[in-house]
Structure formats: structure tokens, C-alpha cells
Structure 1
Amino acid sequence: MRLYPTRRAIGLAAFGAPVALAVALATPQLWGAAAAWILMTAGLMLADALLAARPSGLGLKLVTPQVVGLSRPGEASVEASFKGVAPREIEVAVGVNARLAAIPIRQALKLNAGWGRADVALVAQRRGEGRLEKVWARWRGPLGLVWLQRTEAPDRIVAITPDVERVKEQALRLFSRDALFGLKAQMETGEGGDFHALRDFQTGMDPRAIDWKQSGRHAKLVAREFRTERNHHVILAIDTGRLMSAPTAVGPRVDQSINAALLLAFAALKIGDRVGLFAFDAKPGVASGVVAGAPAFPLIQRLAAGIEYSTEETNFTLGLTTLAGRLDRRALVVIFTDFADPTSAELMIENVGRLMRTHLVLFVAFRDEELEALVDAEPAEPDDVSRAVIAAGLLRQREIVIGRLQRLGARLVEARGDDLGMSLLNAYLDAKRRELI
């Protein structure tokens, strides 16, 4: 329990000072009136504390979610209940660590029959473990001169994960379409499919599916029917180094990469492919074997939530060599990374080229919106022209690196963070249709 004066008590004590000074100047023998005023104020504060509701009679119950997603506020609540005498109103506050923000920080709560509940929005700042470290409750005495405060330390942990709700929303929109790889009893024709059977050609079918030899043999048009290929290995390799973990206007690129990777993992597992997760910075980090089936998605989600931010430079040689050593068959390797200039990207290009000798590489690059904005901005002063020229030079350097990767045979996905998930998914489905994996 903690006691301290309210503003009313401080104002009351301060009000007595000039009165006592005036009395002492007018009648010096009554100088003791100042001490009497202070004693009176202290006595009123003591009486207020004794008449107030007891901190021991207060029960605080903290209700929190187990998981909070980035960009999706979670709802927590503080329930307060008094036994015996209760104030009409209390103030409550929740203390959190740096990975969470509690909104509002402090709020007044009116009690009904000694009970009340305050709702608090928990906004995730970064992935990891969010902690609700303390809960404070304070209330005034009936005279309004003393604050009584009760503090509890629940040390409640909330897991901060990628924005899985957004992934689920995108996936639901995606799988509501009939044409996504046999969710209905339909067979996909064209490149990227396994031959399944022959059937009579019907109006509306693709003429390219006609098997002319079999049609001649049966004296009628016969078409081939295909099934989508399954059991491909899809490896999601996420760079968590300094450039990827640096903050941007819409959050670190590593978080945007994880959201896009989860969407691709959900779709690939649903289709029937096998998915693995790999993260690296100066050394390999999270590494999983390939898993299959939609029930395996929560495992990928938990592993992605455990990917930490890093301030170290990325070691592409160690990271991609380690990844290549884990792969025992041809796979689609999706690399999420960033680079600053052609010199720093040299080792990345060399190791990506080595990986492409065996595997199909899908290289994910973020469009640099800040540089594009500097180039497109209308100059208002001479410094704006200089910034635009420098930004244009940096963009040309990025294009040089991307061009070298494309000439090596890597497939490129370049998009803004908001569009990255769907752009990546389209590239994955296109690679399957073209039978590139």
C-alpha cells in the first residue's frame, strides 16, 4: 500500500502559508498559527486515509489474450472489486514492456456496488514476448486529500506473433476462388500438371488438351486430363540482418517478409506441397524440416514468431551454404532479403548463383518507396535536386543487382510491403504452372 497527498491537500497546505505569514506579521506572538495550520492539514489527511477504503479489501484481476498479432490490437481488461467500503471511482493503469503499448495508459473507472472493469487495448510494437509487468490502482479518500494506491505484479506474458489474422483473411479470399488447384473435383490442365486420364472432348474444354493420336484411334475427339503436381518442397529463407530489421514507415521489412511467407506457406500446405522455414543473419537461426498438410501451419507460425530482430550484417555465404546443405532434393527456395549497393550485394549474388545450380530461386525484393518518393518529388529548393539525383543513382544501382540476378536465372518478385503477399503467391503459382520446380 502507498499513501500520498492529492492536489487538494497540497493546495490546502499552500493556502495556509500566506495566511499564517500575514497573521505573524500583524501579531508576532501568534507565529505558532503556521504550525497549527500544518498540523490541522496533516490531521485531515490522516482522517481521510482512515475513512477511505482499505487497499487490503481490493481485488484486482487481470485478463489478457495469449497471443497478439502485429497491427492487430488485443483486448485486455482489469477487474476491480472491493470488499466492504468502496470508493465511487478509482484509477487503473497497466505497465508493459517495450514490445507492447497499453492504450489508454491510465483511465478512471466508476464502480457499481464495489465492482468495475476497465478495458485496455494492447498494441504490439515488435514481435517477441510482451509482458504485462504491473497493475496499479489508486483512489481518493472521502475528503479528497489522500491517494491510496495498490500495486500488483502479475508478470503476464503475451506472445506477439506476425499478423496471422491478415494472412487468414487473404487466404480465405484466395481459396474462395474455384480455380485454385482442385479444391473442387476439377483438374487443372496445361503446363505444370501430371497426366491423369483421357476423357471425351466437350465444348468449352481447352483445344490444346486434345490428344490427336488417341482421337484418331477412337474416331472421336479425346482430351487429356491433368492433375496438379504436389509434394514439391518450398523453402522460405528469411534474412533477419541489419537492413531487414531496420525500422521503416510501415514497420521492419522482416515483419513484412514473415507475413508474406506465412501466406505462401498456408497456400502451399493447402495445395499439397511441403514447406520449410529458414532464417539467418550473421549465422543461421531458425531452421525447420519440411512439413506437409494444413495442420502443420501452426508449427510454421510458431517458428516464424520466434524469429528475432538483428543488428548484425548478414553472412550470405554461411547462411545460404548451410541452407543448401540441408536440402536433399530440388526445391523452390524463396529468399527474402535486402541490399544497399552492388558492392555489398556481391557475395549475395555469388551464393544465390551457386544455389540456383540445383534449385529454383524466387528472389523477393522490396521496392524502396522512400527513394522513389525523393525522385518523384517536385523540387522546392536546391537541396531537393541533390537528393533526387542521389536517390536516382541508388535506384539504378538496385536495378543493376536485380538485373544480374535475373540473368543468372532467378525469378524476381519486387513489390511494396502491402502487396508483397499476393505478388509472391502469384509468382509461386506461376512457377508451378510452368513446371519449373
Structure 2
Amino acid sequence: MVGGVRGELRAGGSARSRLTSLTLTLTALVGGWSLLGSEIAEAARAQAGLSPTAHGLLGLDAVAGHLALLALWQTRRRQLRPSHVAPALLLTAVSSFAVAPALIWLAVLREPARRIRTVAGAAVALGMTAHELVVRSWIFGAATTLGPTLGVALASLVATGAAVAVGSFVASRRAQLEAAVARAHLAERSRIAREMHDSLAHRLSIVALHAGAMATRPDLPRETHAESSRVVHRTVHQALEELRSTLGSLRASGGAESLEAPGLSDLPMLIAEARLHGQVSVSDQGGFLTPTSPVGPVVGGQLYRIIQETLTNARKHAPRAPVEITVRDAGDGELFLEVTNPLSSSLERSGGTSGQGYGLIGMSERAKSLGGTLSAGPHTGRFVVLATLPTTERRVERP
């Protein structure tokens, strides 16, 4: 199903691209033949019969114009190169037909930098002026007067200047949009990675705790060993279900936006599960974790993930150590969260740091996304996480 949708999107984009190419080509073709036809009509009026030289030059004009049309078709979606400047100058110098494809070419090429596009535009303007001064005098059999030459030169500068300006603006906007899309993709990938880390790390930390106990304590009673085995089996199954659900949501047409985020209503189950695997105490001094909580759904989801990650880290680095969770009113529409647990001996030796700290980075990003703050680190023999969060979502201005 998803493959079909993607195929339809690709097909739609390809169809629009072909339609755009056809439109540009037809526009250049009509414009080129109009310019060449005007020159032929003017030459016919000026002379009783066109000379062999005029016939040859007009034929060369048509050939060069169609070559410019082919070049437009081949290079319209590419970036400008210095090697494009000389052909643009040559084609517009020998062909009035080539002017229309050249101007469209300047306006549609994918080149955000103005310098090389301006150089190419100057080459086209110079070629148009050279055509007026040299080629037209050969076609008409007489030198071109100063007035029409200056008029053509001015018109050439205006036309190429407009094409360069339009092309530079469109290319710059395209580059900005592509950069914005790239940033959005990176942010979404980071969000998905953070969600999967928080969810799976929580489950796997439980597995590691019980598996480690079974591996290091062969003297455990049979009932305790059997219960730990059941916990490992159940938790692995839950982790696989969550992973399957996450990947299924990503493959669905709704994408990552369809991921079901946990909230405050899921906190009682999280706390109860933590109490099964260690001692956890919760002090809710403002009713923030109750069904009548003033905390909004977005903040509630981030608060859940922060508490979940602190429990995961405590279970990973200080197994079965008591964890104390305190939530209280900080005033001005904010809440204060404090989670502490004793440092393990290994963490004390390392200064309270272990591993890459992706979980701590994720918690900090969650708090920052709400306009809050979060700090974490060792303090007087304990690992302390302190966070201040708004009770309702705020608009955060990104740099």
C-alpha cells in the first residue's frame, strides 16, 4: 500500500516535471521562431531579394536556435558551469532564435550563486549586441545605424537582467526550501530516535537487571529464578511489540506523526512497574500527576518520558537503589521535578558520568522544547535530575 502511494507520488512528480519541460520548450520554440520570423520579414522588406549571404546566415540562425533549444532541454535542471558561458555567447551572437531559449535558460537553471549566473547573463547580452552590430549588417547588406544598435543593447541588458534576477530569486528560494526540508527531516529523525531510545531502553534495562541477577546469583531460590525468567520473557515481548508498533507507524501513511505518545495517564503503570523492580517513592505536592492535573497533554507526554528515562538510568547504573521522585509547584505556571538516587560505586569513581549520555541529552532537549530547563549530575553522593517545566505548552523560538 505504502509502496503504491510512493509510486503514485513519484509518478505525479515525474508527470509535472515532463509538463514543465514541455511548456518551457514550447515557449522557447514559439519565442525563437517569432524573433527569427521578425528578422526575416524585416530583411525581406529592406531588400528586393535576399542575398545568398543573407540566406546562409538566416539558415545558420535557425540551426543555432534549435541547438540552443536542445541545450535548454538538456541543462535546465543542472547547475551553471563556466563552460556554459562561451556557448551562450556564441549561440546568441549568430542567432536571434537562440535569444528566447537563452533567456529561459538563465531563469530556470539551478544555481543559487548569482556570480556565475550574472556572467552568463552578460555573455548573452553581449551576444545579442554582437548579433545586432555584425550579423544583421551582413544580412541586410548595410551597416546598422547607431540608434537601433543602442536600443538593442539596452533591450539586451534589460532582458538578461530580468532573467538573471528571476533565476537568482527562484534558485535562492529553492535552496532555502531544500535546507528547511533537510532540517525538518533531521529533526524528525532525531525525534523518532529519541522516542525509540526512551521506550526500548526502559524495557531493556529491566531485562538487563533480571538477567544480570540470574547470571551472578546462581544461589537464588527456584521461585525467584522462575519469576525473573518470566519478567525477562514478558519484557522482551513488550519491547518487541513496542518496536513493531513504532515501525508500523513509520511505514503507515501518517508517518511518524501517527506514533501514539504516552502521557500522564500512563504514569501510574510506569511507577507500579518500577516498584516491582526496585524501591521508588513519589511525592506529588501539587497534584500534577493526578487525573485533575493542570499539566497540558504535550507537557504531560514530555514529563512522562523524562521520568521514564530517569528510572531507566537509575536501573542501569544503580540497580535496585532507591529512587525518589518529587514534583511540586514552582509558581508562575511552572512545575519543579526532582529525581534522585544514590550513586553506584562505579559512578562515584567516574565522577557521575557513564556511557554517551544520549538519554540525558534527550531529556534536556525535551525540557528545552517546552521552554523549560533541565540539569543532571552527581551531588553529595547522589545522582540528581532537576527540571523546571511549564504546566502548559509554550511557543519556543528556535535560533
Structure with more of its chain in helix, by fraction: 2
Asked which structure has the greater CA Rg, the reply is 2
Structure with greater strand percent: 1
TM-score normalised by structure 1 residue count: 0.25
